Amino acid sequence: MNQVPREVVAAARTKIRIEGVSMTFDNGVTALSQVNLELAENSFTCLLGPSGCGKSTLLGMIAGFVQPTAGRVLVDGEQVSGASADRGVVFQEYALFPWRTAIGNVEFGPLVRRLPRAQRRSIALDYLALVGLAGHESKYPSELSGGMKQRVAIARAFANSPSVLLMDEPFGALDAQTREILQEEMLRIWQRERKTVVFVTHSISESLFLADRIVVMATKPGTIKAVIDVDLSHPRERTEPGFIALERKVKHMVREEVDKLGVT
């Protein structure tokens, strides 16, 4: 049930279209140059590349936080001009409101949608339970561990029922064990509530574990180097020969880009 046949994925309509997008900052640095990309509805795409390849900038453009200096980003055929509740974002730094409890954070989306209090609460409780935080509702972010904070942030994004979920190195600040657990949880939730996910990471193993498609990005300037369809079935096992072979292939690609950056 959790494996959508490939024909269906291929036939799915385009959700996000990136057309000739470039980004040059005020200081003259070109972060992205002529990027074209189409993402199918309900697909899981990883943007993979070393630091400075512009992957987070690209994600910020889909979110509507930054505007490209050339080209345009379309979601459902409409040009993105600002942030929207239909495009949820999960940040590496969690970005939880420190003055709100866990449930208060998850309630934020329903709150600004002016849902009645009881409904807000029941939505928030459901999603906190979904990420395994039942019983921690009234804790403040300062009382939660990094992994728990990111669970709250994921619940907060899902509770708003966006059709697009943008994740900017969400597990980058977590320890290796927590990271793997959250990757599995993320897949479990995504299989329950399909959304078009764009997931930025610099971890090859993470992208291979999660994604339908991996977009490998080149540096200086940021462009798309390769698009790899990951045909491994879920749940994926990191020790399988297929996984390891693909990992080796992607590693070479990324290494070339890292080498281009020189000594880092």
Partner 1 sequence: MLERGSAVARADDEAARRRRSVALRLRLALLRCSSIVIFFALWAAFSFANARYLKFFNPVLMPSPLDVLHTGVELVESGELQRDILASLSRVLQGFGIAAFVGVALGMAVGRSRLLESLVDPMLELLRPIPPLAFLPMMVLWFGIGEASKISFIAYAAFFPIFTTTLEGIKYVDPLLLRAAASLGASRRDLFRYVVLPAATPAIITGLRLGFGLSFFVIVAAEFIAADSGLGYLINDARTFFLVSQMLLGAAVIGLIGFGFNRLLRLLEARLLRWRKTAWS
CA distance 84 to 226: 29
Q: Looking at beta carbons only, is 100 or 220 nearer to partner 1? A: 100
Helix (H) / strand (E) containing 257: helix 241-260
Residues that bind partner 1 (CB under 8 A): 63-65, 82-85, 87-89, 91, 93, 95-101, 108-109, 111-113, 140-143, 156-157, 160, 166
Which of 73, 45, 90, 56 shows the shortest CA–CA distance to 215? Answer: 45
Q: Looking at beta carbons only, is 39 or 228 nearer to partner 1? A: 39
CA distance 88 to 161: 8
CB 36 within 8 A of CB 19: yes
CB of 157 to partner 1, least distance (A): 8
CB of 86 to partner 1, least distance (A): 8
CA distance 92 to 202: 12
Q: Looking at beta carbons only, is 85 or 244 nearer to partner 1? A: 85
CB of 132 to partner 1, least distance (A): 21
Q: Looking at beta carbons only, is 91 or 190 nearer to partner 1? A: 91
CB of 52 to partner 1, least distance (A): 20
Which of 152, 146, 161 shows the shortest CA–CA distance to 132? Answer: 152
